[in-house]
Amino acid sequence: MTKTPEIQWKRRDGYGGPESFPEDDLAEFSVGQTKDLADKSFELHLSDGRRLDYRILNLDTLEVVERTGKRAKKPRTAKYWASEPADGIFFLKHDTPQDKRQTTCIALDFNRDQVVLVHGEVPKPGESEHSIRKVHVGGVIGAPRTSGEIQGPPFPPDLVGKRFVAEYSGRYAWELIYLNKTKVAWHGLKGNPGIGDVEEYNASQLAPGIYLVSWSEDAETLAAVFLYNTNTNTITGHMWGFAPATGQYIHAPLGGRIVDSSAFGLSITDVGGADAARDARQTAKDVVLRAHYEVWNRANYDLIDELYSPEFRAHFICGTEVRGCDGMRAFIEGHHRSFPDWTERVVDIVAEGDRVVTRYISTGTHKGDFNGIAPTGRRTEIAEVSIHKVMNGKIVEQWGFPDGLHHVQQLTG
């Protein structure tokens, strides 16, 4: 049975989607469109076995030919946009006119003859998924100098643990925390305040301090590619998606900068130094944030054994006590039966020693029995504070202070 767009394509609560970002606003801090690629030709040999031949025809049109062995597909022309965020390193984006669902972003490093290509495809109406199918592959510019497998730019190990604020125009800002080699947490600070999530990402390092990062959001039809130049604190990239309400394919160029976090009341330090105590605090914060964003917000119960100790204990002011990973799973599953869309938005996080304190705003719709209160369908919002004890990378104890009285008042009127 064909699914309706409303079922297939999801929309994060409290977020207007990619169409809510006017293109001129997001591109305000862009490093500018370059003319240096005009009239150039180059071939890309990718690590997934593909070869793509590009010919830049003029300032806004290119031609691409995909080759497999000695066979070449019919040349395709497309409109493109290109920028030079660092000397000799270009960011290029183009669409596929024959299929509006496809978008390609390319980072070209002519200094080292390296390339990273990110290709995304919006699912067709009626398909079972809603997130954009994305590939992130590396390769070389020009014929490989050696035989064998083509290696792309390496994963940047120093990206893990980085935490900073990215601002796009004067209207949008996000806090980003690269938790590990596959997960990045993001949190809206301005423009779409309060929304946040944890995504799976891919990353490649083009040069010292210059990274290409991509992810496709699991919560809706939206994908983004970012070229971070931490040497100049600039961001170049592109975001695209699908708006089911209007049936539009949305594209927005990203021109941003990495800004002083103190303007948003955040105290952020780079964990890449030798301060072991600081690194331990950051690791403890990451564990707690993943518990909020991935377990409580996304019902990823399989992570409970990874994030919580087998000896875990929880104490809540309402008299509720929870023991062990199985007890925590049962407790959270029961809460999600009462509030299937339960979401916790972390507002403040502080770590010292083995303690991590979070202040957060929790929202949910009352769909199931909760402490003897029959489902009301009412939307609730409460303030909470939790103190977590984190040891050896796992939460071993938690003290929870939800505004339980206000919660019950909202449900009972």
Kindly report the length of the chain: 413
What is residue 97's predicted lDDT score, i.e. its pLDDT?
83
What SS3 class is residue 214? strand
- When pLDDT is averaged across residues 50-54 and rounded to a whole number, the result is 93
If one compares 125 and 71, the residue with the highest pLDDT of the two is 125
**What whole-number distance in Å separates Cα of residue 38 and Cα of residue 29?**
23
Residue 12 within any structural domain of the chain: yes
The pLDDT of residue 3: 42
Q: How many domains does the chain have?
A: 2
**Domain end (from 205, 237, 264):** 264
Question: What confidence category does residue 286 fall into, taking pLDDT thresholds of 50, 70 and 90?
Answer: confident
296, 382: one domain: yes
Structure confidence at residue 266 (pLDDT): 75
Where does the pLDDT of residue 106 fall: very low under 50, low under 70, confident under 90, or very high at 90 and above? very high
pLDDT at 274 over 50: no
Q: Give yes or no for residue 268 having a pLDDT over 70.
A: no
5-33, pLDDT tens digit by residue? 456 877 776 666 666 666 666 666 777 78
Do residue 158 and residue 285 come from a single domain? no
97 and 186 in a single domain? The answer is yes
| pLDDT above 90 (res 61) | yes
- What confidence category does residue 122 fall into, taking pLDDT thresholds of 50, 70 and 90? very high
- Higher-pLDDT residue of 226 and 128 is 226
Whether the CB-CB separation of 193 and 173 falls below 8 Å is answered with no
Is residue 272, in this structure, part of any structural domain at all?
no
What pLDDT score does 4 carry? 46
Same domain, yes or no: 92 and 203: yes
State which residues form the domain around 182: 5-264
pLDDT over 60 at 168, yes or no: yes
Given pLDDT bands bounded at 50, 70 and 90, which one contains residue 205?
very high
DSSP states of 72-138: EPPPEEEEEEEEEEETTEEEEEEE-TT-TTEEEEEEEETTTTEEEEEEEEPPPTT-S--SPEEEEEE
Structural domain includes residue 269: no
Inside any domain, residue 271: no
Residues 287, 215 within the same domain: no
* C-beta pairs of 48-52 under 8 Å, 24+ apart in sequence: 48/135, 48/137, 50/137, 52/117
* pLDDT value, residue 24: 62
The predicted structure's pLDDT at residue 14: 63
Per-residue HEC secondary structure of 33-90 comes to ECCCCCCCEEEEEECCCCEEEEEECCCCEEEEEEEECCEECCCEEEEEEEEEEECCEE
Q: Two tokens at 310?
A: 């087998």
Give 297's DSSP letter: T
Judgement on whether residues 258 and 283 belong to the same structural domain of the protein: no
Instruction: Determine the pLDDT at residue 234.
Output: 93
Nearest in space to 200 (alpha carbons), one of 294, 126, 283: 294
Q: Which two tokens stand for residue 188?
A: 């809206």
Kindly report the CATH number assigned to the domain that includes residue 370. 3.10.450.50
User: Residue 4: which residues within 8 A CB-CB, separation 6 or more?
Assistant: none
- Across residues 378-390, what is the average pLDDT? 93
Looking at the structure, tell me whether residues 183 and 281 fall in a common domain: no
Q: What is the rounded average pLDDT of the residues 100-107?
A: 95
Q: What is the mean pLDDT of residues 146-175?
A: 82
Mean pLDDT is lowest, of 65-74, 145-154, 173-182, for 145-154
Residue 108 has pLDDT above 50, yes or no: yes
Question: Are the beta carbons of 86 and 232 closer than 8 angstroms?
Answer: yes
Domain boundary among 264, 291, 312: 264
Residue 249 C-beta-side C-alpha neighbours within 13 Å: 15
pLDDT top residue among 70 and 241? 241
Residue 396 above 60 pLDDT? Answer: yes
| 0.85 surpassed by pTM | no
- Among 241, 264, 287, the domain boundary falls at 264
